[in-house]
Amino acid sequence: MMQQDTIIALATPSGVGAISVIRLSGDKSIEIVDTFFKSIKKGKSLKTQKTHTIHLGHITNNDIIVDEVLVSVFKNPNSYTGENVVEISCHGSSFIQQEIIQLFLQNGCRMADNGEFTMRAFLNGKMDLSQAEAVADVIASNSEASHKMAIQQMRGGITNELKELRAQLLDFAALIELELDFSGEDVEFADRTKFKELVAKITFVLKRLIDSFAFGNAMKNGIPVAIIGEPNVGKSTLLNTLLNEEKAIVSDIAGTTRDAIEDELIIDGVAFRFIDTAGIRETKDVVENIGIKKAYEKAENAQLIIFLIDSNKFSYSSEDFLQEIKTIKERFPNKRLLVIANKIDTLSCHDSSILQSEIENLILLSAKNKTGIEELKAELTSLVNIGALSNNETIVTNSRHFEALNNALMAITSVQEGIDLEISTDLFSIDIRECLRHLGNITGEYDVDKDILGHIFGNFCIGK
């Protein structure tokens, strides 16, 4: 499916830089650039150059030199898009970038849409859809973990995981459908034992991939960590200390924070999204109550909860202190909870050692004096199991893939039920086809809906 137009876009960020790259793709890209390119070697034409070669010369317009440039030539089908591609590396002035792009727009090119280079790479079979999607993730990755997952995906992670199983299922689908053609004659082409094994294997792999999504999604977008506790315990101070920035207002007035305030911090290659919330207490203030409700919601949706208590509370009453921890644990029975005693600087050494010894797994820190912060960070990273990442297991991070995997699992479960109930083959052959369709959706194997492509590539930047 060859695209007709030759497209052009700035591949590097707009604005001034040392060098900028302008990229063209399409049938006519080489000859269009050739018209305005004067090689330093007299009479050298780009059209006769080999693929993957670089040429020094000038881009000229009506004999006026626009810039001295390096031009790279990639020839169909040996390029990123699979089409003829030309890249012009010019000096990174905004004026030069615009002059060159305008020149080619007036001479047979059109502006590329968002992600159109990568969409063409997909349409020309250079990569499958899940790999093309991963290109956007690679560009967006901002931590070691998100980068690792995106690169793995771009290299075909999920595709490789499913390719073989899908091919085997396809074979069975064909055999079973063949049986249907001979339905009167009671023949069995498909080996039932092998088929059952395959269905079990597919179910197993799908479940593992589906299970990886919660982790993968959190790692990609930053693991949400809600900071909650009573007013004035130092939640906003902790947020600011972690971020090393005066992000939230701090004051000794109880009820300072109303709205949830959040920002991302990368610790040991993992992105965490810390969410400071309104202090939880009984109040008649309408706005404050909205904030408190929100605090509970944030905690509910977070992956981890940091529960902050003022250490001084322990000095007044260790029972109240313990009761508060108990209450919050009961409120969030299914959450990872980190209990932190703050303002440890105001406690005597004696009191803090009692505190430490009496309560298990308590982290003591001073958000204000920045002590105990490294211990907290170490605790946070230890709670995140990045073992899966280092084992190079495929981790699903894309919600479109997650949905397709769930649909495929539903279909294969129906197949399994069909086998168990020994219903006639023609009934579950539909479910096999359904499963194949959903698996094919991930890689874009079947005719992909134009809207879906538009949606996927519309989120890319221009020039990618």
Ligand X SMILES: Nc1nc2c(ncn2[C@@H]2O[C@H](COP(=O)(O)OP(=O)(O)OP(=O)(O)O)[C@@H](O)[C@H]2O)c(=O)[nH]1
Taking the C-alpha atoms of residue 226 and residue 299, their distance in angstroms, rounded to an integer, is 5
Choosing from 79, 153, 257, 352, the residue that interacts with ligand FFO (CB under 6 A) is 79
Part in contact with ligand X (CB under 6 A); list of ranges 114-122, 154-162, 229-237, 450-458: 229-237
- Which option in Mg ion, ligand X, ligand FFO, none does residue 120 bind, with CB closer than 5 to 8 A by kind? none
If binding is defined by CB under 6 A, does position 78 make contact with ligand FFO?
yes
Choosing from 36, 37, 80, 104, the residue that interacts with ligand FFO (CB under 6 A) is 80
Any binding-site annotation on 137?
Answer: no
Closest CB to ligand FFO among residues 21, 149: 21
Binding residues for ligand X restricted to 247-276, rule: CB under 6 A: 250-252, 254-257
- Which option in ligand FFO, ligand X, Mg ion, none does residue 67 bind, with CB closer than 5 to 8 A by kind? none
Part in contact with ligand X (CB under 6 A); list of ranges 30-38, 100-108, 141-149, 363-371: 363-371
- Which option in ligand X, ligand FFO, Mg ion, none does residue 366 bind, with CB closer than 5 to 8 A by kind? ligand X
The residue count for binding ligand FFO (CB under 6 A) is 8
Closest CB to Mg ion among residues 122, 274: 274
Q: Which residues contact 158 (CB under 8 A, 6 or more apart)?
A: 130, 209, 394, 396, 401, 442, 443
Choosing from 236, 303, 342, 443, the residue that interacts with Mg ion (CB under 5 A) is 236
Binding residues for ligand X restricted to 276-305, rule: CB under 6 A: 278-279
The pair of three-digit structure tokens given for residue 303, joined into one six-digit string: 């992956």
Any binding-site annotation on 120?
Answer: no
If binding is defined by CB under 6 A, does position 352 make contact with ligand X?
no
Helix axes 192-221, 157-181, angle to 10 degrees: 150
Part in contact with ligand X (CB under 6 A); list of ranges 197-205, 322-330, 338-346, 441-449: 338-346
Any binding-site annotation on 300?
Answer: no
Choosing from 152, 237, 352, 398, the residue that interacts with ligand X (CB under 6 A) is 237
Helix axes 129-140, 425-443, angle to 10 degrees: 40
Going residue by residue from 174 to 213, which x/- string records binding to Mg ion, judged by CB under 5 A? Answer: ----------------------------------------
Closest CB to ligand X among residues 232, 425: 232
Any binding-site annotation on 87?
Answer: yes
Closest CB to Mg ion among residues 12, 256: 256
Q: Please report how close the Cβ of residue 25 comes to ligand FFO at its closest, in angstroms.
A: 9
If binding is defined by CB under 6 A, does position 368 make contact with ligand X?
yes
User: Which parts of this chain interact with ligand FFO (CB under 6 A)?
Assistant: 21, 74, 77-80, 87, 126
Q: List, as residue ranges, the binding site.
A: 23, 87, 126, 232-237, 251-257, 276-279, 464
